[in-house]
């Protein structure tokens, strides 16, 4: 690290559990973020600001007026532009040293494998089960940690999956593929700050995954009731007949 980087990240380096060694791990790391919307915006902004060296961001959508209530990396002038381009512009203004690669298209299973292979940790910031299952399968195939988040109405949840770690479930162990469920914020609504809370937690868990600091949110699904401001923790376990991860254990 040069002097400017030491100053920029000094408040993290001051943490004894991070120190220079931990910060260097972040600078050397690549994060693959799928989704540049409500969750992806705050997650990517904190990862770029916090010193991750490279972010790969995938999203095939354009900025719409209805996005601006919660997708804080986009502004009025970005309406009609690709979300990936808008988010990249915001991240570059936060930290020009962060390398940002954008993919402005919908990815399929093989494409997910290609980008997951390049990543040290993957963030699922999407809002549909088909894509979530594809990301999960790619992470299982490549034994890469996956940080998932979800937010709808006043309810949010976050969890970390560690494929290859003994007794660690994958996403599909918890959510079997029984067909698409129409549970998106576009169909059901979402309160604005909720996605910021969950996306920020995804960023924190990514930092913990890369530095080894603290206890990762694995084997535990953390659920937030935003109306009552109560957190609930649900223990998770491997599905022995999971079609995705049973052969990788």
The helix (run of H) or strand (run of E) holding residue 156 is strand 155-161
> How many residues can be counted in the chain?
249
Q: How far is CA 172 from CA 90, 116, 133, 145, 225, in A?
A: 33, 17, 7, 14, 23
The rounded Cα 8 to chain-centroid distance in angstroms is 23
Q: How far is CA 110 from CA 51, 115, 143, 175, in A?
A: 29, 9, 15, 22
Sheet strands (E) in 59-154: 99-103, 121-124, 146-152
- How far apart CA 76 and CA 172 sit, in angstroms, is 37
Q: Which residues pair with 99 in a beta bridge?
A: 54
Residue among 185, 209, 242, 245 flagged as catalytic: 185
Pairwise CA distance, residues 150 & 119, whole Å:
21
Is 71 strand, coil or helix?
coil
Distance from C-alpha of 217 to C-alpha of 236, rounded to nearest angstrom? 11
Residues 47 and 73 sit within 8 Å (Cβ to Cβ): no
Q: Is 185 a catalytic residue?
A: yes
Number of other CB atoms surrounding residue 52 within 10 Å: 27
Catalytic residues, which ones?
185
């Amino acid at each position: 690290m040069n002097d400017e980087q030491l100053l920029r990240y000094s408040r993290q380096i001051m943490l004894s559990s991070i120190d220079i060694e931990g910060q260097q791990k972040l600078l050397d790391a690549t994060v693959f973020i799928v989704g540049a919307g409500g969750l992806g915006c705050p997650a990517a902004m904190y990862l770029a600001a916090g010193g991750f060296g490279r972010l790969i961001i995938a999203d095939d959508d354009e900025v719409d007026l209805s996005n601006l209530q919660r997708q804080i990396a986009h502004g009025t002038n970005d309406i009609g532009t690709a979300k990936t381009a808008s988010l990249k512009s915001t991240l570059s203004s936060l930290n020009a040293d962060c390398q940002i690669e954008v993919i402005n298209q919908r990815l399929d299973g093989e494409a997910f494998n290609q980008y997951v292979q390049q990543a040290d940790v993957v963030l699922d910031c999407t809002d549909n089960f088909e894509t979530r299952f594809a990301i999960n399968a790619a992470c299982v195939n490549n034994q890469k940690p996956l940080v998932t988040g979800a937010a709808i109405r006043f309810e949010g949840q976050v969890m970390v999956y560690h494929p290859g770690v003994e007794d660690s479930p994958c996403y599909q162990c918890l959510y079997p593929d029984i067909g698409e469920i129409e549970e998106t914020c576009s169909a059901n609504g979402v309160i604005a700050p909720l996605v910021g809370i969950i996306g920020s937690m995804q960023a924190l868990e990514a930092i913990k995954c890369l530095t080894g600091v603290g206890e990762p949110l694995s084997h535990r699904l953390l659920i937030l009731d935003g109306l009552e401001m109560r957190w609930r923790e649900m223990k998770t376990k491997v599905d022995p007949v999971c079609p995705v991860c049973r052969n990788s254990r």
